[in-house]
A and B are shown apart, each in its own frame.
Chain A
């Protein structure tokens, strides 16, 4: 390594040591013993570090803290998300609700064709099986009752999506807050 390279390496190491507030390693020390210019840099850096350390820590004045607290609290109460955006149905929905709702709705909708195919099959096959020994009007009533129950179940499933989504988001939030 040429002396210029050695000086460049040493100076970079000195700067690193300065930034990390530690003394340079033994390798650099060996170079400093033989290089006046780099020793001068080290002395300068020491002086700068000393001067920087002497800078006041800067404790915030108590009236400033009191003022900030007051303004912060006022700001919080004036635009508290839970109160400011509360509609006629109560406080606003929690963060992440829309995403969770859409996710659950998507899953339910994706399963819809399967449910429709299954119920069509049940109605057709059931109709054929029962056609021999159940009178026609009774069959129609049975089919109607079956369809009504399917519609009821579907209304229940789709209607519960917002509530399930709300519950899931709230549970996730309470996990974050401990």
Chain B
């Protein structure tokens, strides 16, 4: 006989929505956590590896999931889990970028590229283009929106919710990011 006050265990299934799995996780269901991790492992790691070095991406991946576990009580099932997850990951990326002196040095080096070289046309933007380096060279506020849009295929509204700025700002940052990727760095374009 089941002792009084004990809840009937619920077995999460693979068909449950992310939000339902979070509710189960709030009740302490470890299987729900595993299912969520399996669902988002690829997307989340892809997002993080475009925002940080490979080693740092691994640390951030683990840290993101631990934060999900620790903050599960604060999750509102009326919200989208993916937005909440990327919000946590994005905040961790920002903190990490702020702390990382190495990244700041790399960024400074990239920004000091001679204008002529940066503005070089298609001839120099050939297969040798180090896309990862160019991406890493973008200011944090431009890189975060570009990665979320270009690689994660998120809409402007959802990106706005994740990064905490109005959708209009997301749009202008996206265009500024594209111009910066091309090497067209106009200061007035990227001040937000």
Residues of chain A whose beta carbon lies under 8 Å from any beta carbon of chain B: 12, 15, 18-19, 21, 40-41, 43-45, 47-48, 51-52, 54-61, 64-65, 67-69, 71-73, 75-77, 79-83, 89-91, 95, 173, 176-178
- Please tell me if the beta carbons of A81 and B33 are within 8 angstroms of each other in the complex: no
CB-CB nearest 6 A-B residue pairs: A90-B5, A80-B28, A58-B49, A51-B131, A60-B45, A47-B125
25 sample A-B contacts, Cβ–Cβ < 8 Å, listed by A number: A15-B174, A15-B175, A19-B150, A43-B121, A44-B122, A47-B129, A48-B131, A48-B134, A48-B181, A51-B125, A52-B131, A59-B45, A60-B41, A60-B61, A71-B66, A73-B33, A76-B25, A76-B69, A90-B6, A91-B5, A95-B26, A177-B16, A177-B23, A177-B24, A178-B20
Considering the chains assembled together, what is the distance between the CA atoms of A173 and B23 in angstroms? 8
Considering the chains assembled together, what is the distance between the CA atoms of A65 and B10 in angstroms? 24
- Please tell me if the beta carbons of A61 and B7 are within 8 angstroms of each other in the complex: no
Tell me, rounded to whole Å, the shortest Cβ–Cβ distance linking B79 to chain A. Answer: 12
Considering the chains assembled together, what is the distance between the CA atoms of A80 and B49 in angstroms? 31
Q: Find chain A residues with CB under 8 A from B49 CB.
A: 56, 58
How many contacts between A and B, using CB within 8 angstroms? 138
- Please tell me if the beta carbons of B149 and A81 are within 8 angstroms of each other in the complex: no
Q: Find chain B residues with CB under 8 A from A61 CB.
A: 58
The main secondary structure of chain A at its interface with chain B is: helix
- Please tell me if the beta carbons of B131 and A55 are within 8 angstroms of each other in the complex: yes
Q: Find chain A residues with CB under 8 A from B65 CB.
A: 68, 71-72
- Please tell me if the beta carbons of A21 and B150 are within 8 angstroms of each other in the complex: yes
Which of A45, A51, A75, A77 has a CB less than 8 Å from the CB of B66? A75
Beyond the given pairs A19-B174, A40-B122, A71-B66, 13 more chain A to chain B contacts, judged by CB atoms under 8 angstroms and listed by A's residue number, are A18-B178, A19-B178, A43-B125, A48-B178, A48-B182, A58-B49, A58-B54, A68-B66, A72-B30, A72-B37, A73-B33, A90-B4, A177-B23
Considering the chains assembled together, what is the distance between the CA atoms of A37 and B177 in angstroms? 20
Considering the chains assembled together, what is the distance between the CA atoms of A68 and B45 in angstroms? 12
Asked if B132 CB lies within 8 Å of chain A CBs, one says yes
Q: Find chain B residues with CB under 8 A from A41 CB.
A: 182
Asked if B62 CB lies within 8 Å of chain A CBs, one says yes
Considering the chains assembled together, what is the distance between the CA atoms of A169 and B62 in angstroms? 33
Tell me, rounded to whole Å, the shortest Cβ–Cβ distance linking A162 to chain B. Answer: 14
Asked if B112 CB lies within 8 Å of chain A CBs, one says no
Tell me, rounded to whole Å, the shortest Cβ–Cβ distance linking B114 to chain A. Answer: 17
Q: Find chain B residues with CB under 8 A from A19 CB.
A: 149-150, 174, 178
- Please tell me if the beta carbons of A83 and B28 are within 8 angstroms of each other in the complex: yes
